[in-house]
Amino acid sequence: MRQRTSGPSDRPPPPSRHRPRPAALTTLAARVLCVLLAGATAGCASLASPTAEVGADRMADPRPVRDGGTLTIALKSDPDKLDPTLASTAVGRTVFAAMCEKLYDVDAENRIVPQLAAAPPTTSDKGRTVTIRLRRGVRFADGTRMDAKAVKTSLDRHRTLTGSVRASELKPITSVSAVGEDTVRLRLSKPYVPLLALLADRSGMVMSPTALQRYGTGFASHPTCVGPFRYTERVVGDRIVLDKDPNYYDADAVHLRRVVYRTITDGNVRLANLQSGDIQVGDQMDPVQVGRALTEPGLQLFNSPSLGYYGLTLNIGNTKGAGAPPGRIDTPIARDVRVREAFDLALDRGLINTIVFQGRYRPTCGPLPSGTPYATGTRCPARDPAKARRLLKAAGVATPVRVRLQISTTPEDNRLGQVVQAMAKEAGFAVSLAPTEFATGLEHSRAGDFQAATTNWSGRLDPAGNIDAFTGTGGAQNYGGLSDPAIDRLIAEGGATASGADRRKIYARLVERIRARHTVLYLIQPTNYVSATKEVAGLKVFGDGLIRVKDAGYAKGGS
Amino acid sequence: MSYPVRRIGESLITLFLVSVVVFAGVRALPGDTATALAGEEPTPEAIAQIRESYGLDDNIVVQYLRYVRHAATGDLGISSRTGLPVLDSVLEALPVTLELSALALLLAVVVGVGAGVVAAVRRGRPEEWLVNAVALLGLSVPAFWLGIVLVLAFAIAVPVFAASGFVPFGVDPMENLRHMVLPVIVLGSGLAAVVMRQTRAAMLGSLSADYVRTARAKGLSRRQVIMGHALRNSLVTVVTVLGLQLGHLISGAVVTEQIFVLPGFGKLTIDAVFSRDYAMVQGVVLFTSAAYILVNLLVDLAYSVIDPRIRLGGAQ
């Protein structure tokens, strides 16, 4: 039976809820009056104190913190199953970051570093055998030992459990064996370099075999891993409560007593709760809310370039569903690459960033994010409607070329759709917008029931994670139905090449080839924005967008 | 067959029909639950496995019968999104929505009936205009707008109440109150306005009725006439309105719970619909429908107590 345990004793020691003092009553009264008059739309800008604009990336707050307190973090959506094998939401990864450590992790420079592993893996047999040495003296939240057998149990579960979302990404693994107490050996069907990045994500999470045996498929109700915090309770749609784990190998470095994740889907409500002090950290703040947060003297901002992208996918061959062999689609945009190039040339990425995302993201034209070793640094072509019209003329298509663009129902996608519509019109396209609710849109995209659709990918550290499934023939997320032997060959080479320098060359060629096909039009690299009250220190937000709370706490001596 | 037994029977049939409609309805929604569940990386293998795990490939009749068989034993299934038992989530959300609805109802009755009586008794005077104006405002202002304004005013500018969230009464009564005041105002204000208008209209009718004139002629005090005769006879209308409005109260709770992030039925339903979590949608709607049907049943039974002609008419 889960207990509702939040109450006054759970609140942080220095609540940021400022009680009104007599001297401030006039100001407060003015604020209330202003709010009542202005309502929900205008706000009271003149009463707010301006602070600095967003500058360079800010991923961590190094101020020393004191022990104790509860940190409440608002998430944008409710995580799905708290089971590393079955979990599929990006937001769930943020919760796992506090309670389920992985064999490897990502650092501030987007490098893969050991976490539960003791060192980088060693490979032999031409990359077909991977040996991982484990950190010693590690215990799960239930007090049992984390050893090679536990890692084998977890990896085998990821690979074989019915409904496992990890199974496909671990497909190259043919067997896992425990070699001694602290060494695990993986046999692969082929050399597979992206495996390391996968082991730095949910596939690398290790679960307590005792808990797995005890709870079986109900593990999501009792997730038991190694982490600075351990699972306490979950109230669906409301909160997930984690408490400091005394069994954690680095427990002395953990300051907070408790972390509470609350689901607040509306960005404005997330910001209002930050302002009122009901939460201390707001995850995934939208550019509009970032702008408003910057005028709040009590808030601070963390920002790091995301590993993902916003873009448009054009359907050129998905007739039987993603993953199936491509078919023929008889529309100008599907038939002729020149029409797709014209559509691409109609778009001004810089202006899209300014109008749609308040200039807070970065224009991009490739799948590989800046700030990673494989970033290609491709210069995006300038918008050229005149050239676009010439291309349409050369293709011999009647203008305007009609394109139906599926967008989601978020404000961002609405703005993006309208801007694309306006830009494309000048180049000879008539874009109609089809706002579609998320689950329906996902099904349409998968089934190939669309002409063009907005695409939003949270991103993966290894370049394969941003490319293979989206552009490889038969890729599970190849919604555009792209099939190009040259791309497939380069994908295979990229996955099997161990040398970093060689891989960089391969991915540079691959990106150029993908761009030349104009099936996925990459537009924007988002930024991970996390807002927090100024009392909070020690928080870390890296490129993967996860909020790391291991070192977090309340700043010594206040803000 | 007695009136109460007949009404209970009708209620059970309604509940059965609701279960059929909800079961078919959620499956008629566009968007595939397996695709939604497969998350960011929906591989064909994962989707096929999810379909198998949740029996989504079975015939809809087979799925319904399986659902009814389990529901009859109190097993509402496992949430496909969270992997947690639906019944647990429903039982966790139930007190939140019940408390919110009950407090909003209390607010509506106290404020609405009181203001309605004042408006009727002080007809044509400034008090009536003021009450009418406030009621009009209560009816016209959208809940989401009122909610945001109240949060800005009383959770941020003057931080007296909480902007969101829920603390159970049993854990901390004061914190519970701090979290519930704004949502209750948002949810209850519209209903209070409706109740006020109905009370005022019914009271105006009663105050000009013969029995009130008779009561006055008998020398009863003004208070006795208003409270003991006019108001009591007006309550049948008010109870009717409350019964009809309770459905709106429950549906209004959906919006209010979203604004104030209260973990009640509304929030649970919306999250479940967007993720095509069939088991959760069915569980929540079944509970909500049962509550709605129960309330209507109680209102009808209350009628028969207040006005015996209804009970007797039913018996005929």
Quote the CA–CA distance of A397 and A421 in Å, as a whole number: 19
**Is residue B71 predicted with pLDDT exceeding 50?**
yes
Where is average pLDDT lowest: A2-6, A252-256, B58-62?
A2-6
**Is residue A318 predicted with pLDDT exceeding 90?**
yes
The pLDDT assigned to A17 comes to 40
Strand order in the sheet with A183-188: A122-124, A129-133, A183-188, A173-178
Quote the CA–CA distance of A444 and A450 in Å, as a whole number: 6
Query: Using 50, 70 and 90 to split pLDDT, how confident is the model at A222?
Result: very high
The pLDDT assigned to A309 comes to 95
Query: Using 50, 70 and 90 to split pLDDT, how confident is the model at B312?
Result: low
Q: Is A556 exposed, middle or buried (0-12, 13-18, 19+ CB in 10 A)?
A: exposed
Residue A217 with chain B: CB contacts under 8 Å: 83
The pLDDT assigned to A93 comes to 93
Interface of A with B in 51-110 (CB under 8 A): 78-83, 86-90
Query: Using 50, 70 and 90 to split pLDDT, how confident is the model at A15?
Result: very low
**Is residue A402 predicted with pLDDT exceeding 90?**
yes
Residue A95 with chain B: CB contacts under 8 Å: none
The pLDDT assigned to B311 comes to 63
Where is average pLDDT lowest: A26-30, B32-36, B132-136, B297-301?
A26-30
Give the closest of B40, B92, B157 to A235, CB-based.
Answer: B92
Quote the CA–CA distance of B210 and B203 in Å, as a whole number: 13
Q: Is A381 exposed, middle or buried (0-12, 13-18, 19+ CB in 10 A)?
A: middle
Q: For residues A175 and A161, is the Cβ–Cβ distance under 8 A? A: no
Does A295 touch chain B if contact means CB atoms closer than 8 Å?
Answer: no
Query: Using 50, 70 and 90 to split pLDDT, how confident is the model at A134?
Result: very high
DSSP notation for B183-199: HHHHHHHHHHHHHHHHH
**Is residue A316 predicted with pLDDT exceeding 90?**
yes
Helices A337-345 and A411-427 cross at an angle (nearest 10°) of 110
Where is average pLDDT lowest: A285-294, A548-557, B307-316?
B307-316
**Is residue A36 predicted with pLDDT exceeding 60?**
no
Which residue from A minimizes the CA distance to B35? A443
Indicate yes or no: CB of B39 within 8 angstroms of CB of A87.
yes
The helix/strand/coil state of A298 is coil
Residue with the larger pLDDT of the pair A413 and B251: A413
**For residue range B78-119, what is the model confidence (pLDDT) as tens digits?**
888 888 889 888 888 888 988 998 899 999 989 988 888 888
Where is average pLDDT lowest: A400-409, A410-419, B50-59?
B50-59
DSSP A382: P
Mean of pLDDT values over A441-451: 91
Instruction: Name which of B30, B32, B42 is nearest A479 in CA terms.
Output: B42
Residue A273 with chain B: CB contacts under 8 Å: 163-165, 261
Residue with the larger pLDDT of the pair B218 and B63: B63
The pLDDT assigned to A18 comes to 40
Q: Is the ipTM of this complex over 0.85?
A: no
Indicate yes or no: CB of B171 within 8 angstroms of CB of A6.
yes
Residue B32 with chain A: CB contacts under 8 Å: 439, 442-443, 446
The pLDDT assigned to A5 comes to 32
Contacts (Cβ under 8 Å, ≥6 apart) of B144? B255, B259
The pLDDT assigned to A371 comes to 79
Closest-CA distance, B271 to chain A, in angstroms, reads 7
Residue with the larger pLDDT of the pair A154 and A27: A154
Average pLDDT over chain A, rounded to whole?
87
Task: Classify the phi-psi angles of B288: left when phi > 0, otherwise alpha if psi is within -120 to 50, otherwise beta.
Answer: alpha
Joined together, the tokens standing for residue A459 give 């991103």
Residue with the larger pLDDT of the pair B260 and A522: A522
Indicate yes or no: CB of A323 within 8 angstroms of CB of B276.
no
**Is residue A25 predicted with pLDDT exceeding 70?**
no
Mean of pLDDT values over A219-230: 96
Q: For residues A140 and A224, is the Cβ–Cβ distance under 8 A? A: yes
**Is residue A27 predicted with pLDDT exceeding 60?**
no
Mean of pLDDT values over B70-80: 83
Residue with the larger pLDDT of the pair A267 and A207: A207
Task: Pick from A236, A445, A466, A544 the residue to mutate for testing the B interface (most B CBs within 10 Å).
Answer: A236
